[in-house]
């Protein structure tokens, strides 16, 4: 009795989530310490201390009715103002509270913006490999996701193919840097070229093409690599930010959209997005956590922990003969499978109690994603299994 659309979405439902459930099943059989679950991007580094301190302070000092009450669908004015100021300090922008809309994580924000922008059959372009949920987020509003094939040399976007695939129906382009699943950060050179292409195509077709920047991993960048702030390069940028990874709060569902004044039709977009937030059923972003993050805008998780994991896993796997790009950000390693079939490779890994996700789930077969937001010890204990795996298949 479920809708045809949901039947399709159930069928293609998240492979990552399925692996995560499989991990729990295997842990019950073999013991949690003998299962190496690299399937899901659930942060393993604790939130910074400031989070608990902020919660306690808010609960002790503020009016309970207002802590838990409804507010403007876009979020508390003072929270949005604090976020705007913090972005301005970091990136030299000039946002105000009117440019910020508090959302239910990045996922909520992306749904709000696609509901706001898309007419049926409008096209949204993305670059493989990409976060598989984009398919659902676009389909939710009857849009079409157009996937640009991967550039497996360095996993920067394939801009030649991009140029060819932009059409008068292209309403938006969604990018994600630092990237899930590759960990690659799109360089400033890439962003400049991508922006130029978009400006040319807007002119050619007389349309507006919005660049949606999905940024849950912005703060997880290693070796001081800069992550360009996209609204400084392209006027029609909309930024989707989340505190899920930056402050290790994925279950609290808190993030925001930035809709700059210079984006075409800004006023209508922000008022429509405000309504979309409400009528999608979010109503508003969680009240307490809006207040909490506003007090913690300079707090950081300990990214050295992820960095140590990155080094251990990358160096270990490389020494066994696996091929992958050293990630500059996020907490994923995207590894070429030593056999062609990535699904088969994941099944072989599962026999060694190693849970990883197929590249196919990200539109890039022949690779697997290993989420290294796990204990250091888990990687140490899993490495012999990875070594045995490559020896077995070679």
Could you give the CA distance from residue 265 to residue 281 in angstroms, rounded to a whole number?
24
Q: By CB under 6 A, how many residues form the interface with ligand PLP? A: 13
Q: Choose among 195, 232, 230: nearest CA to 213.
A: 230
Could you give the CA distance from residue 124 to residue 121 in angstroms, rounded to a whole number?
9
Give the torsion sign (CA, 298, 304, 307, 309): negative
Residue 213 binds ligand PLP (CB under 6 A): no
Could you give the CA distance from residue 326 to residue 258 in angstroms, rounded to a whole number?
30
Contact 155, 107 (CB under 8 A): no
Could you give the CA distance from residue 119 to residue 200 in angstroms, rounded to a whole number?
23
Contact 290, 68 (CB under 8 A): no
Beta bridge partners of 202: none
Residue 180 binds ligand PLP (CB under 6 A): yes
Of residues 214, 252, 328, 342, which one binds ligand PLP by CB under 6 A? 214
Residue 185 binds ligand PLP (CB under 6 A): no
Cβ-closest position to ligand PLP: 105
Pattern of binders to ligand PLP over 38-77, x per CB under 6 A? Answer: ---x------------------------------------
- Residue placing its CB nearer to ligand PLP in the complex, 214 or 219: 214
Smallest distance from the beta carbon of 38 to ligand PLP, in angstroms?
Answer: 14
Residue 244 binds ligand PLP (CB under 6 A): yes
Residue 242 binds ligand PLP (CB under 6 A): yes
- Residue placing its CB nearer to ligand PLP in the complex, 41 or 183: 41
Q: Which of residues 98-117 bind ligand PLP (CB under 6 A)?
A: 105-107
Residue 129 binds ligand PLP (CB under 6 A): no
**What's the residue count for the chain?**
394
Could you give the CA distance from residue 339 to residue 345 in angstroms, rounded to a whole number?
7
Pattern of binders to ligand PLP over 248-267, x per CB under 6 A? Answer: --x----x------------
Which spans of this chain sit near ligand PLP (rule: CB under 6 A)?
41, 105-107, 131, 176, 180, 214, 216, 242, 244, 250, 255
């Amino acid at each position: 009795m479920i809708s045809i659309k949901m039947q399709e979405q159930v069928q293609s439902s998240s492979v990552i989530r399925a692996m995560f459930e499989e991990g729990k099943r295997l842990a019950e059989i073999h013991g949690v310490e003998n299962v190496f679950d690299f399937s899901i991007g659930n942060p393993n580094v604790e939130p910074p201390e400031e989070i608990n301190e902020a919660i306690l302070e808010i609960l002790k000092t503020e009016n309970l009715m207002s802590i838990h009450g409804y507010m403007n669908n876009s979020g508390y004015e003072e929270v949005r103002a604090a976020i705007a100021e913090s972005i301005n300090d970091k990136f030299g922008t000039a946002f105000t509270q009117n440019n910020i809309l508090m959302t239910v994580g990045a996922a909520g924000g992306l749904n709000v913006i696609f509901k706001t922008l898309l007419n049926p059959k409008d096209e949204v372009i993305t670059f493989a490999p990409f976060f598989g949920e984009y398919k659902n987020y676009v389909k939710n509003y009857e849009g079409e996701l157009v996937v640009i094939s991967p550039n497996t040399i360095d996993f920067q976007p394939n801009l030649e193919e991009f140029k060819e695939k932009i059409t008068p129906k292209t309403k938006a382009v969604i990018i994600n840097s630092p990237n899930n699943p590759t960990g690659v950060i799109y360089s400033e050179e890439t962003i400049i070229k991508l922006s130029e292409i978009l400006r040319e195509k807007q002119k050619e077709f007389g349309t507006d093409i919005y660049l949606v920047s999905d940024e849950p991993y912005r703060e997880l960048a290693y070796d001081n690599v800069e992550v360009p702030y996209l609204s400084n390069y392209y006027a029609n940028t909309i930024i989707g930010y989340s505190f899920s990874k930056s402050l290790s709060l994925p279950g609290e569902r808190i993030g925001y959209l930035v809709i700059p004044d210079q984006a075409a039709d800004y006023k209508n977009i922000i008022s429509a997005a405000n309504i979309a937030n409400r009528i999608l059923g979010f109503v508003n972003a969680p009240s307490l956590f809006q207040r909490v993050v506003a007090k913690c805008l300079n707090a950081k998780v300990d990214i050295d922990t992820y960095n140590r994991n990155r080094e251990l896993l990358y160096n270990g796997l490389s020494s066994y003969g696996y091929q992958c790009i050293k990630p500059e950000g996020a907490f994923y390693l995207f590894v070429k499978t030593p056999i062609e079939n990535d699904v088969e490779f994941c099944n072989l890994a599962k026999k060694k109690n190693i849970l990883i996700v197929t590249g196919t789930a990200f539109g890039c077969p022949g690779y697997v994603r290993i989420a290294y937001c796990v204990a250091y010890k888990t990687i140490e204990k899993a490495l012999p299994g990875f070594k045995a795996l490559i020896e077995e298949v070679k």
